[in-house]
Amino acid sequence: MKKSVLTVIAVLIASFASVAHAQWAVFDAGNFSQNLLTAGRTLQTVQNQVVQLQNEAQMLTNEARNLRSLNFNSLSQILNLLNTTNRLISQAQGLPFNVSQMNTQFTRYYPQSYSLNTSATQMAADAQTRWTYSRAALQTSMQLQAQAAQNAPSDQSTLSGLVGQSQSAVGQLQATQATNQLLALEARQSMQEQQLRLTQDRAAALEAARAVAAEARALVVRAQFIGNGTQYTPQAVSFYGN
């Protein structure tokens, strides 16, 4: 009997211990600390990814800004002005600018010398042609001077616009495009200056060649006047038998 009571008491104690274990959970401090470290690392990783995404977004924004095209194009105006000066030269009268044709005409109307058989009418006609060539060259040079003066206000406006676009450029592409257009404007002005100098030098060269041809004509005229016979010898002349 006593043994049975002891057995019942043992069973009751075991039952209470099981209930108490079910009602009070055991706190594992080591596991809790590990979970906190894992959560912290995860949060740091997320933050790093957010920063990386923000940097990539900024890079894309900068790239888009750098690739933004310039909403200003002066190339057509620059080419139109250049075509105008080219057209003035192509329409120029007088001695042609073509090398082969120029050599032929120059040899014909600016000879090193005239033969004694050349008629006065022919030499006069040649002199008239040379005068026409010189006048046409001077006219072409003055036309280019006038065109350059007319181009100045347009160039000033284009330059002002391009400088403003360059200073307000929001990206590398816009700055590069503005710089390229500024270089195109400078190139056109340089070509215009070369064309003007060419026509001025041409007019001066033709005038010098006309002077040389005039000397050649004067020499043959003098030779024709003197002739090949006996030259005139001055003699005393008596009047009224004295």
Place of tokens 């912290």: 40
CB 174 within 8 A of CB 69: yes
Residue 71's contacts (CB-CB under 8 Å, 6 or more residues apart) are none
Backbone angles phi, psi at 55, to 5 degrees: -65, -40
User: Average pLDDT in the 195-199 region?
Assistant: 91
* Rounded Cα distance, 156 and 185, in Å: 10
3-class DSSP state for residue 159?
A: helix
* Rounded Cα distance, 76 and 174, in Å: 18
Q: Give 190 or 169, the one with higher predicted confidence.
A: 190
* Average pLDDT of the chain, as a whole number: 79
Q: What is the pLDDT of residue 5?
A: 46
* Cα dist from 154 to 93, 184, 193, whole Å: 28, 14, 16
CB 114 within 8 A of CB 41: no
Residue 116's contacts (CB-CB under 8 Å, 6 or more residues apart) are 220, 223, 224
**Which amino acid does the sequence have at 148?**
A
Q: Is 31 left (phi over 0), alpha (psi -120 to 50) or beta?
A: alpha
Q: Where are the domains of the chain?
A: 30-66, 75-226
What's the pLDDT tens digit per position in 112-146? 889 888 898 999 999 999 999 999 999 999 999 99
What's the pLDDT tens digit per position in 94-115? 888 889 999 999 999 999 889 8
Residue 40's contacts (CB-CB under 8 Å, 6 or more residues apart) are none
Alpha-carbon dihedral angle through residues 3, 6, 8, 9, given to the nearest 10 degrees = 180
Of 3-7, 165-169, 235-239, the poorest mean pLDDT is in 3-7
Confidence of residue 20 (pLDDT cuts 50, 70, 90): very low
pLDDT higher than 70, residue 191: yes
DSSP string of 186-215, one letter each residue: HHHHHHHHHHHHHHHHHHHHHHHHHHHHHH
* Rounded Cα distance, 170 and 164, in Å: 12
Q: What is the pLDDT of residue 139?
A: 93
User: Average pLDDT in the 44-50 region?
Assistant: 79
Query: pTM value?
Result: 0.61
CB 122 within 8 A of CB 232: no
